[in-house]
Amino acid sequence: MARKHMEYPESVAATLEKLRTESNNKVTLSMIRGRFCAYEYKYIVDADRKSNRIKRQFYIGWIDNLGEFHKAVHRTEKTRAKNINEYIERGLRSGREYESAHVDDVDSLILESLSRDARMPVPIIASNAGISTGSAYYRIKSLFKKYDIRKTIEIYPKIFGFYRFIAVVKFFSKQPDYSNIKSLLAAEPLIQMAAIMKGDHDLLIYMLAENVDEVEKIIYRIRSNRFFSGISSSWEVGYLREWHGYIPLRDEFFKLLESRVWKKSRDSPRREKDQLLPSEYAVLRELNSEGGMEFTAIDEKHRLSRGNAQHTYRKLIENKVIERATIVATKPNCRFSLLIYLKQFDVVSFNQDRLKYITYVRDDAGNSPFNRFTIAGDASAPYGEILLTPVFGYSQEDADLWIRRNVRGVEIGSSIITDYLVGCPGFRRLADIKNEAQDK
């Protein structure tokens, strides 16, 4: 069956024909976000793929309804190319690291759709990206494999009465045996992420707690363990007020919530405000582990009536218990992640640059597969900001350097994350982060 081509307004079609005449390469249009986006494209040979002939395309600009062509403004070094040939050549010279660092506009839109709603039907994702449903299935499968993506749900722990805390640790005499530390930290259900670092600090711990006393007990329990015997260290622990990004919750956290599931009895005829219905608990725990799980499978597994899980999910979304179904890339294929700690020693000077700083943090991800910052938040001890950013091969003009040049009133510390002991950050590409809710 012949593929049906999109019909363009006469003015747009005329401009497209002009572009094709002026270019030495093939040019096509895709309708993306209400714009007629123009691409040069060609097929190249890739010996590392099962299908050797793969399509590469290069965004050259867009055409408005009056037929006026608006040339693309590319932000990164690779995409500042004259044409598709130069674009491909730059990618080939940079190798696989470059491929991981960049995604084309279609993959960007797919990642944005999945980050916004991981349960979005593929035909809708295809429509958002301006491609066929079959192409969308192929690209989604490739992206999931390339970055080891899994579906999950985003939950703000404050809704359950838990607050975020972060600890950064510096070891002085010697480093502990991290194989032992890994098992020690993993056994604490309130610890959601822990990482080994090099730089100003050696260990990062992100945890949830209902109050400061609980945090102090966790830290004391960890520090008094025999694994830290004879190791001198400094621990900075503070409250973290997140305003961008998320860290996925571990299944161990939901085991704690099991005690809050309401079970009707003579002593408990009605559920309390902080209690969960069995169906709510089932949906939360199952979708946190596998965000794409079918609702009928949840019904069957937990012996719920047919349709109960789907109805419960909708109510949890409506009540903002679940912010969204989303994705996390557990292998982002970046060179490393960088933790940046901004200690504010002059708040007045910092506030003068704060708007510029916030705009930079929330800026578009460009050609990167993920947001510029995985997490950004205000820390209470020491008073300042915490940033976590993936660093690819091309971007060592990164956040650390930008902040040093543009933000006053702060002392900057940074550490490279070399390995994750527990959990992982929420690597994803979420568009319109300027409208994201804060501190939930």
Residue 98 has pLDDT above 80, yes or no: no
Confirm whether pTM is higher than 0.85: no
pLDDT at 433 over 80: no
Residues 6+ positions from 80 with CB-CB distance below 8 Å:
74
The 8-class DSSP code of residue 52 comes to: S
Q: What distance in Å separates the CA atoms of residue 298 and residue 119, rounded to the nearest whole number?
A: 15
- Dihedral over Cα of 146, 151, 153, 157: its sign: negative
Average pLDDT of the segment spanning 107-129: 94
Predicted local confidence at residue 116, as pLDDT:
94
**Above 90 in pLDDT, residue 87?**
no
d(CA 375, CA 427): 9
Per the structure block, which two tokens stand in for 248? 């996925």
CA distance 409 to 327: 36
Contact 203, 197 (CB under 8 A): yes
Do residues 52 and 46 touch, judged by C-beta distance below 8 A? yes
- Mean per-residue pLDDT for 199-212? 93
H or E element, residue 436 = none
Answer whether 288's CB lies under 8 Å from 328's CB. Answer: no
Highest mean pLDDT among 155-164, 211-220, 396-405: 211-220
DSSP assignment letter at 261:
B
What mean pLDDT, rounded, does the chain reach? Answer: 85
Q: Tens digits of per-residue pLDDT, 230-277?
A: 999 999 999 988 778 899 999 999 999 998 888 878 878 888 888 899
What are the angstrom distances between the C-alpha of 392 and each of 62, 92, 93, 148, 357?
A: 28, 16, 15, 17, 21
* Contact status, residue 57 vs residue 367, Cβ threshold 8 Å: no
Sequence-distant (≥ 6) Cβ neighbours of residue 173 within 8 angstroms: 230, 231, 232
**Helices and strands per DSSP (H, E), number in the chain:** 13, 14
Residue 85: both structure tokens together: 């040939």
Please give the pLDDT value at position 165. 94
Centre a 10 Å sphere on the Cβ of residue 16 and count the other Cβ atoms it contains.
19
| Percent of the chain residues past pLDDT 70, beyond the cut | 86
57 or 293: which leads in pLDDT: 293
The pLDDT score that the predictor gives to residue 301 is 96
- The mean pLDDT value for 68-84 works out to 71
pLDDT digits (tens, 9 = 90+) for 276-319: 999 999 999 999 999 999 999 999 999 999 999 999 999 999 99
The tokens of 301 are what? 């597994």
Give the Cβ contact number of residue 354 at 10 Å: 14
Band of residue 47 on the pLDDT scale cut at 50, 70, 90: very low
Confidence (pLDDT) at 335: 79
Three-point CA angle 120, 124, 128, nearest 5°: 110
d(CA 8, CA 67): 10
Distance CA 287, CA 347 (A): 41
CB atoms within 10 A of CB 6: 11
Q: What is the pLDDT of residues 131-178, one digit of tens each?
A: 999 999 999 999 999 999 999 999 988 888 999 999 999 999 888 999
SS (H, E, C) 402-425: HHHHHCCCEEEEEEEEEEEEECCC
Where residue 347 falls among pLDDT bands split at 50, 70, 90?
very high
Q: What is the pLDDT of residues 369-400, one digit of tens each?
A: 998 889 898 988 778 899 998 887 544 446 77
Closest listed residue to residue 63, CA positions, set 24, 107, 11: 11
pLDDT reported for residue 100? 61
| Domains annotated on the chain, with CATH | 1-95 (no CATH), 103-147 (1.10.10.10)
Coil, helix or strand at residue 228: helix
Please check the confidence at residue 205 and state whether its pLDDT lies above 90: yes
- What is the end-to-end Cα distance of the chain in Å, rounded? 51
Task: Classify residue 165 as exposed, middle or buried by CB count within 10 Å of its CB (0-12, 13-18, 19+).
Answer: buried
- In angstroms, the Cα distances linking 377 to 26, 103, 280, 360, 416 are 45, 27, 29, 14, 18
**What is the rounded distance in angstroms from the CA atom of residue 166 to the CA atom of residue 164?**
7
Residue 48 pLDDT level (bands cut at 50, 70, 90): very low
Q: How confident is the model at residue 94 (pLDDT cuts 50, 70, 90)?
A: very low
Q: pLDDT tens digits for 177-186?
A: 999 999 999 9
